[in-house]
Structure 1
Amino acid sequence: MAPYTVLLLVAGVIPIGYAVETSLQKAPTELDPTTGFGGIDSFRDVVTDFRFVDTFTNILSVLVVWLPIMMIGIVGLALLLHASPGRFGATMRFLYFIPGALAGIANLVLWVYLLNPSQSPVQGLWHALGITTIKQAVVAPHQLPLILAAMMFFQGAGSWVMVVNGGLNGISEEVLEAARLDGANAWHLAWHVKLPIIRPWVGYAALMNLAYGFQLFLEPQLLDQVASNALPDQWTPTQLGYAFAFSNFNFPAAAAMSLILLVITLGIGLVIVFRSGLFGKEDH
């Protein structure tokens, strides 16, 4: 436990404590350059900011599309791989993992190529939709959440398929053989045997993907740049926190924004943990 405890302190407890301390400070302004204890003023500034609700609405619009597709895709592909042993299954595991091996920037460059109607291999589809520039593709109404959901799915699905497949590989062959002797077919095995056993693995995948979704920053930030700044600069909560820190130089508000995100993700995470039995004890 000692190495983990050190990492938890360095990467978790200490930064959170520093964020709490910073959020309770008073941000200097041109009219009042003094600093000191500011109480919950930074949280009030964040919550009452005109961009606050919009950023959460935007990120929820992505999560509503992406997270169900992500989880269904992860579990479905993992079950298919587990039912396909041998060279074919190994080959498919490798192919699924390739997109996840790409760095975030490389993945974005690939998607910029796909979204550019003048170069995209699916340019016929873009032209059929009346879209001739990447700016139009990105800023079209209700299209950005779908684009971000697709980017996040293809980048992360392969890695999580490997994780869930690891949980499936841990199922005792005796359990599966007993189910087959009781007359279970492939569908029965997947739905009534495998899924209940790997529920903690699925819960872990949902928890980590949910946390990643709330921290979305790189993709909308760079898509805004390739679209000639046609998107709002603060489209997600993390972008708003970045703006507080480096545009408004209001570091207490940026710290408060990070703590608000922490509380939200922890709250949802606790629900997932208790509902999935992620850290529960196995019954023998």
Structure 2
Amino acid sequence: MTTTVTETLTTAQRRGAGAAPRRSRRRALHRVEARGAWVLMAPYMLLFLVAAAIPIGYAFYISLQKPATLVNPQTGFGGLEAFVTVVTDYRFVDTFVNIFTVMAIWLPLMILGVVGLALLVHASPGRFGGSMRFIYFVPGALAGIANFVLWVYLLNPTESPIAFLWQGMGLDTLKEITTTENLPWILTAMLFFQGVGTWIIIVNGGLNGIPDEIFEAASLDGANAWQLAWRIKLPLIRPWIGYAALMNLAYGFQLFLEPYLMRQISAGSIDAEWAPTQLGYAFAFTNRNFPAAAAMSIILLVITLAIGIFIVFKSGLFGDEKEKAR
């Protein structure tokens, strides 16, 4: 019995002695990986600092100042006065109603269109699928001003190839078509046409990253094409869908060029401060109230971040692989 106890103690001591070097190696490996991660992150952190953190901090600082006036050109600490000015402005609520109206129409159509067409492309391998990816991507090349000019041409009843649609609805001039009431639908069409092709390719890339063994196992279990799409593909590309929703959400809250130029071509039939970004522009360059403009930008940032965080957690965008699989 004494021998057995001695052997047991000796074995335990050996195991303890062997575990210590292993723990040291793991710590050393962890330190090397951490240093490598910081090195890789350094360029992004520098860019984030210059392009995001410093501007956000400066905007917050400006938002807490008093606006300069002709009577009192000196600025100083104004507390939350700029935020009160923004929130109590008669245009504030209307701008957010306008942008949320566009979001409510555009985002669901965009996500449904992107996911549906990406699934169809993925289910069509070979030349046909490759050709469709190229065709869907072509509208994405018409970004910014090019896309806007194309839609001005389509919306003009005197030149548009779809003029019969406008005439059928009793709309005979560009000014009658480009009104505040019709603008959410016009912007939805413009943004969908411009962005759907790019996001189809991105989501299709997520589908191509799924191992073929998963599809083969599902097929052996008797899953048809619809069940593969609904029960296998959709859950696995949920983070990609969340990413598409997040990026389009951020883009939607930054809408400025489209409603601004639509007002120009409509001879003023669209409100000058239709979107929140236009209201911030008006505070800065019409009212000369830069603290209010900065406060407007902070409010937009907070709202976008809140909705973005909700999308991130619901989609599992930054979850680990086990959480994504669930």
TM value normalised by structure 2: 0.85
Q: What residue is the counterpart of 1:118 in the other structure?
A: 158
Q: Specify the alignment match of 1:16 in structure 2.
A: 56
Within 5 A, what are the aligned runs for 1:1-284?
1-139=41-179, 142-283=181-322
Q: Which amino acid aligns with 1:77?
A: L
Query: Matched residue of 2:303: which SS?
Result: helix
Q: Distance in 2 between the 1:78 and 1:254 partners? A: 40
Runs of 4+ in 1 over 3 A off after TM superposition: none
Per-residue CA deviation, residues 234-262 of structure 1 (Å, 9 max, x unaligned), is 00000000111111111111110000000
**2: CA distance, partners of 1:248 / 1:67:** 33
Q: List per-residue Cα deviations over 1:104-127 (Å, max 9, x = no partner).
A: 100000000000000000111111
RMSD value over aligned CA atoms?
A: 1.0
| Distance in 1 (alpha carbons) for counterparts of 2:225 and 2:52 | 43
TM-score, scaled relative to structure 1: 0.98
Task: Measure the CA separation in 2 of the matches of 1:160 and 1:14.
Answer: 30
Alignment correspondent of 2:20: none
Distance in 2, matches of 1:115 and 1:208, equals 27
1:143 is displaced (CA, Å) by 1.5
**Helix, strand or coil for the counterpart of 1:220?**
helix
Bigger-Rg structure (1/2)? 2
Aligned-residue identity in percent: 66
Read off the aligned partner of 1:122 and give its amino acid letter: I
What's the offset of the Cα at 1:3?
Answer: 1.1
Aligned residues: 283
In the alignment, the residues of structure 1 paired with residue 193 and residue 279 of structure 2 have an alpha-carbon distance, to the nearest angstrom, of: 26
- Any unmatched runs of 5+ in structure 2? 1-40
Higher relative contact order (CA 8 A, sep 6+): 1
Quote the offset at 1:103 in angstroms: 2.5
| Letter paired with 1:232 | D
